[in-house]
Amino acid sequence: MKSYVLLLLLIAVVPLTASAQIKVDGNSFTLSSESSLIMKEFGAVITQQNDDITVRIILPDKKDSGQQRDRLQSGDVILMINGNRLSSIGDLKKAYQAIETGETVKIGVRRGEQRFILRRTKKDLEATTAGGSQSMSFNIGENSSPIPELGFMVTESGGQVKISNILSPLLPEELKVLDLQGANIVSISGKKPTSVEDFKKILGEIKIGQDMELVFNKKGKKQTVTLEKPKSKGKVLIKEEY
């Protein structure tokens, strides 16, 4: 297996604007700019469920620096942020966006009968909103191929297409809520890919902005996302490392 360096040429990126339907082991929810907020400091996706502002899912690719007892969990209810009581996801988004990078984000949380405060430092979003370049090194097989618009690399084995590497800077917001590293791609818009080229062909037939459904399977856990085909956040250049 050879070692390669991937140079990711990033373009300016805007936050999530479309909606995506996410299903993990039969549990379904909608991720959209109007109804959801990704709080990267806490590694969580927040949505509104009835009257509650709820932690819907914990991001698999975000490592919260807090101890286990000091981390958000799925199902937690957010009551306040930096002293502001919340009545809607819109209130949370407005207050969160007003906090400057480097300032403290303080949220009040209800978990069952417990109530407590969590604090994190507001992260710099430059990596997801500005252009530039970034290099990544991987040991990859010769049949691996980058899929820039979906933010991962795929490889093939035994008639199955598998996600071999995650290209985090290119990964669409809609896919960040899923645990994709090492997952098999079961289908794309109802079609089962049997090779890397087959997957790229099926994906290429879908126009940017057109609805598409991706079904993944990782260790028997099925994950489904329905979203508009995104435009790539950048390009990938590959060179062999000596």
Supply the range of the domain harboring residue 227: 2-15+141-240
Q: State whether 200 and 229 are in the same domain.
A: yes
Evaluate whether 217 touches 11 at the Cβ level (below 8 Å): no
Q: What is residue 127's predicted lDDT score, i.e. its pLDDT?
A: 41
Give the model confidence (pLDDT) of 102-143 as tens digits.
899 999 999 999 999 999 998 765 443 444 445 555 555 567
Q: What is residue 117's predicted lDDT score, i.e. its pLDDT?
A: 94
Q: State whether 114 and 205 are in the same domain.
A: no
Q: In what order do the strands lie in the sheet with 211-218?
A: 27-31, 20-24, 221-228, 211-218, 184-188, 160-166, 152-157, 145-147
Q: State whether 175 and 236 are in the same domain.
A: yes
Is 25 contained in some domain? no
Q: 134: closest CA among 7, 2, 46, 4?
A: 7
Give the model confidence (pLDDT) of 172-189 as tens digits.
888 888 889 999 999 999
Instruction: Report d(CA 197, CA 188) in Å as an integer.
Output: 13
Number of H helices, E strands in the chain: 3, 18
What is the CB neighbour count within 10 angstroms for residue 64?
18
Is 107 contained in some domain? yes
Evaluate whether 177 touches 31 at the Cβ level (below 8 Å): yes
Q: Which residues of the chain have pLDDT under 50?
A: 1-17, 61-68, 126-133, 240, 242
Q: What is residue 79's predicted lDDT score, i.e. its pLDDT?
A: 97
